[in-house]
Amino acid sequence: MSYEIRMGLPEMNALWKDLATRHEQGALTKPEKQFFKKLVKTFGFLRDNPRHPSLQTHDIDALTKRYGFKIWQSYLENKKPAAGRVFWAYGPGQKEITILGIEPHPEDQKRGAYDRIKLSDLPPLESPKD
């Protein structure tokens, strides 16, 4: 099953548009190129199989309770200090995944580690195309 990857509003949508535009223009710095490459790879895994073993996908109860719908976390990278994590949710439509945030891994052993994470909003559900 393949999913459509959507960006949360407004932060994730703005970030993605900026990176994609500057990538096409060849204007990304070396660290931005590396970050963009990791995003594209991670989004590909999410699109094809959100449970891909390298993503280490799992739900985050603290964020699910705060936002009122199930929030998932997947690896953007691993074995690095403050390794990047992608926060996402299924929806708003069927076969859709919305990227809600990209953050360094919070130290989840500490109380309130997920309190500082702010996620984008889900985009509105599009009406079926005629």
Walk along the chain (130 residues) and give the pLDDT tens digit of each residue.
799 999 999 999 999 999 999 999 999 999 999 999 999 999 999 999 999 999 999 999 999 999 999 999 999 988 776 789 999 999 999 999 999 999 987 765 566 778 888 999 999 987 555 5
Cβ-Cβ contacts under 8 Å for 55 (sequence gap 6 or more): 42, 45, 46, 74, 75
pLDDT, position 115: 86
The CATH number of domain 4-104, selected from 3.40.1160.10, 3.30.2310.20, 3.40.50.450, 3.40.1390.10: 3.30.2310.20
Q: pTM for the whole thing? A: 0.90
CA–CA dist 23, 25 (Å, integer): 5
> Quick one: how far is CA 96 from the chain centroid?
12
Asked if 123 contacts 92 with a C-beta cutoff of 8 angstroms, the reply is yes
